[in-house]
Amino acid sequence: MNSIRQQLIVAVILCSLSTSNATSYSDARKEAAQIVSELQRADYEGNQVVMQKCHDQLTPLLKNTEIASRVRYWQGFATWRKAINGFNDSVDPNELEQDLDRAIEEFKQSIATEPKYVEARIGLISSLGYLAFMNKKSQERAKQLVGQIMPLIKETTEAAPDNPRLIRVRGPILWNTPPERGGGQDKAIENYKRGLEIISKIKPSADPLEPSWGKPELLMNLAYSYLNKNTPDLKAAERDARAALEIVPYWHYVRDILLPQILAARRK
């Protein structure tokens, strides 16, 4: 009789622990989702202070191993996009490089937690690319960074050739690759159009911790490309910039920087 009673007590304790863990996991996901939502808005708004705050708020959630790879991804996203926004707003290059170094480390830790996680690889490719751009005057450093990028692109493209965020990240590489090597401005624009077509057919993930951004970014890249190509297409540039703002009306870069540049060019 005592044995049966002891087994029941153990079962109740285990059930209680299981429920506690489930609640902890559920609460952690909910908290992470709220932070990610705030982070993504801050990214579009170019709010560096809030982006850093969101990055730091995610840190305690790393102890929940079930979502650690996603938490690391969004921390990498925060520092990566902080750097990109910083380029647009003339932030100190040393600070930009520090953010990119942190983003690279955080994306690498996300991959270490989940080696096949494509989204972290995409962020890593872009962060390395921006760092290579910043170090273009140092041939040895730039070569070392490009040496990391190219195998990553090959592996990630093989794993997820139709990922619209990967397509978007490959755009600047194509833009800066000579036509005789398979790149060029027209190739980059075709690439962005393909990404836009793909993402327009994809239903966003119901999981807020899974990245589904990309459509407004692809429209922005098209607008930028049409403005800056050798023979600008200002009508197309304005069309795509306004289309991006229809999706994200509070996007600081497009609203306050890119679109005014396009309109100024059209007035000339």
Average the pLDDT over 37-61 and give the result: 97
pLDDT in tens, 99-124: 999 999 999 999 999 999 999 999 99
The domain locations on the chain are: 47-159
Average the pLDDT over 68-81 and give the result: 98
Write down the residue that tokens 């795509």 correspond to.
Answer: 240
Which pLDDT score, from 0 to 100, does residue 142 have? Answer: 84
Does residue 244 have a pLDDT over 60?
yes
Does residue 91 have a pLDDT over 90?
no
| Dist. CA 57–CA 47, nearest whole Å | 16
Encode the chain in three state secondary structure.
CHHHHHHHHHHHHHHHHHHHHHHHHHHHHHHHHHHHHHHHHHHHHCCHHHHHHHHHHHHHHHHCHHHHHHHHHHHHHHHHHHHHHHHHCCCCHHHHHHHHHHHHHHHHHHHHHCCCCHHHHHHHHHHHHHHHHHCCCCHHHHHHHHHHHHHHHHHHHHHCCCCHHHHHHHHHHHHCCCHHHCCCHHHHHHHHHHHHHHHCCCCCCCCCCCCCCCHHHHHHHHHHHHHHCCCCCHHHHHHHHHHHHHHCCCCHHHHHHHHHHHHHHHHC
8 A C-beta contact, residue 240 and residue 254: no
| Encoded tokens for 168 | 């978007």
Which pLDDT score, from 0 to 100, does residue 21 have? Answer: 46
Least confident of 139-153, 175-189, 234-248: 139-153
Write down the residue that tokens 């647009």 correspond to.
Answer: 88
pLDDT in tens, 50-63: 999 999 999 999 99
CATH superfamily of 47-159: Tetratricopeptide repeat domain (1.25.40.10)
Averaged confidence pLDDT in the chain: 91
Write down the residue that tokens 């990240």 correspond to.
Answer: 169
From residue 119, alpha-carbon distances to 69, 72, 138, 243, 252 in Å are 10, 11, 29, 25, 24
Least confident of 3-12, 53-62, 124-133, 180-189: 3-12
Which pLDDT score, from 0 to 100, does residue 138 have? Answer: 84
pLDDT in tens, 130-146: 999 888 888 888 889 88
Does residue 160 have a pLDDT over 90?
yes
Does residue 48 have a pLDDT over 90?
yes
Which pLDDT score, from 0 to 100, does residue 139 have? Answer: 83
8 A C-beta contact, residue 233 and residue 267: no
**Model's pTM, two decimal places?**
0.89
| Dist. CA 178–CA 40, nearest whole Å | 34
From residue 156, alpha-carbon distances to 50, 52, 167 in Å are 31, 28, 11
Which pLDDT score, from 0 to 100, does residue 44 have? Answer: 98
Which pLDDT score, from 0 to 100, does residue 115 have? Answer: 94
